[in-house]
Structure 1
Amino acid sequence: MKIILITLSLFACSFSVVPARILSHGNGPEPVVIDKSQLQLVGQAQLSVLFWDIYQSRLYTSSGRFSRNEQPLLFEINYQRDISRKELVSATLEQWQHLDIPASDYQQYLPYLKALWPDISNGDTLTLFSDGSGSAFYFNGRYLGKIRDEKFAGLFLDIWLSPRTSRPGIRKALLGISP
């Protein structure tokens, strides 16, 4: 029995050590205080499916224009329905697969998203803030944690902003492109 407990403890520790290199949790100090007054709206979009509103999203940058390399950048999603953490991660994965992004590019992030993201209720806001040192997530204004990898923000935003997105109308609206 002792051997099993020691083995389980070592197994559990291996998960808590590895993410620390990439993920900062919300228990520590907040890395960045977001001052939205320093950012300009690039565009906003409403996602509705049939008769149901799903979310409204907004993209902000310091210049008011989107460039893949522009920092800081803020992407905000205000949900208009309940969505479980599992559904949120699953939808993210489905969109990366739709974009034909190799699994090796995103697979490492899935455990972090499962650990960071909460269940969403109607009216909740999930925010991504990227400042060049990684991607910080906020839930209703409360810091959740940060993925300390510059590549993640672009990969995540590709879901909405890639020319190959599954929602080209959302892309145009977020980029401020007239229909």
Structure 2
Amino acid sequence: MDTMRKLLMVLLLALGLTSLQAAPVFTQLLPGAQQVGQGVFKRFGWSIYEARLYASGGRFDASKPYALSLTYERTIAGDRLVQASLDEMRKLGAPVDERPEWAAALSQVLPSVSKGVTLTGVYRPGEGAVFYEQDKETGRIDDALARMFFAIWLDPRTSEPSLRQSLLGMNQ
């Protein structure tokens, strides 16, 4: 067994790999998940996060499950993430002011982040979404809120159309 382990390490080093990475936990909820696209969200020239969209077979269809991962480049308080999300949803016409429970629900799934932290939401149409910080579940939200939350990035009326195009693989 020791010889096999050494052989594997030599092979990994030869391939430029130092460790084997396990598949993200969300792939259990999204069989056959492959990256559709990716892009960087910037504000005033500063990178805020890198976004990646995943779907089964690498093909996005809003009526089928998908995952959106955001890997942050800076520290942001959870309450700021929640407020920014609500503001963007409001711009898209979501009934944020009539649904005060949405702020509390988002507060449960959107923790404070720092550089290198990845938040992932897995949306399952008709069911809602489950969220992860790294690979640890932070919580779940219902379908109505989930649809509006993911619209921030995927709705054609998004405030960041070039990021949307990158996520959907239209810029590649």
Q: Same fold (TM over 0.5)?
A: yes
Q: Deviations over 1:51-73 (max 9, x none)?
A: 311000000010322221112x1
Partner of 1:86: 79
Calculate the TM-score normalised by the size of structure 1: 0.73
Partner of 2:15: none
Partner of 1:124: 117
Q: Deviations over 1:70-112 (max 9, x none)?
A: 12x1110000001001110110011012112223675432111
CA distance in 2, matches of 1:176, 1:134: 24
Q: Is the CA contact 1:68–1:154 (under 8 Å) kept in the aligned structure 2? A: no
CA distance in 1, matches of 2:115, 2:99: 28
Partner of 2:19: none
Correspondences of 1:92-131 after superposition (within 5 Å)? 92-103=85-96, 107-131=100-124
> Which 5+ residue runs of structure 2 have no aligned equivalent?
1-24
CA distance in 1, matches of 2:123, 2:43: 29
Q: Is the CA contact 1:40–1:63 (under 8 Å) kept in the aligned structure 2? A: yes
Calculate the TM-score normalised by the size of structure 2: 0.76
User: Residue 151 of structure 1 is aligned with which of 125, 144, 152?
Assistant: 144
How many equivalent pairs are there? 145
CA RMSD of aligned residues (A): 2.0
1:164 maps to 2:125: no
Shift, 1:175, TM fit: 0.8
Distance 1:101 1:48, change over 3 A: same
Which structure has more relative contact order (CA 8 Å, sep 6+)? It is 1
User: Residue 70 of structure 1 is aligned with which of 64, 68, 82?
Assistant: 64
Distance 1:63 1:151, change over 3 A: farther
Partner of 2:12: none
Partner of 1:136: 130
Partner of 1:29: none
